[in-house]
Amino acid sequence: MKLKHISSEDLHAKTKSIAEKERLTTIEVLWHLRENERRMLYAQMGYRDLKEYCVKELKYSEGSAWRRISAMRLLQELP
């Protein structure tokens, strides 16, 4: 991706737009993980737990998987 040639104003606007999309996408991922856990879909696919599913199937690092799972579980406590 070549960003050197865009103006600072355009770079700033694009960065804000992408960050907003990222927040919305992250929330959507968390709700999907919650439903995956509720249905135990990960187990049906042969994974021993949701973390293993996140790491092996979704290709998150272990740290990223734990952070998403922790955030997803907070959704259950604080909808």
Q: Report pLDDT digits (tens) over 25-72.
A: 999 999 999 999 999 999 999 999 999 999 999 999 999 999 999 999
What pLDDT, on a 0 to 100 scale, did the predictor assign at position 48? 97
For residue 39, what pLDDT is reported? Answer: 97
Q: One-letter amino acid identity for 51? A: K
SS (H, E, C) 39-74: HCHHHHCCCCCHHHHHHHHCCCCHHHHHHHHHHHHH
CA dist., res. 43 & res. 37, Å (int): 9
Q: Please tell me the predicted confidence (pLDDT) of residue 72.
A: 95
Distances (CA, A) of 77 to 5, 71, 72, 74: 46, 10, 9, 5
pLDDT category of residue 1 using cuts at 50, 70 and 90: confident
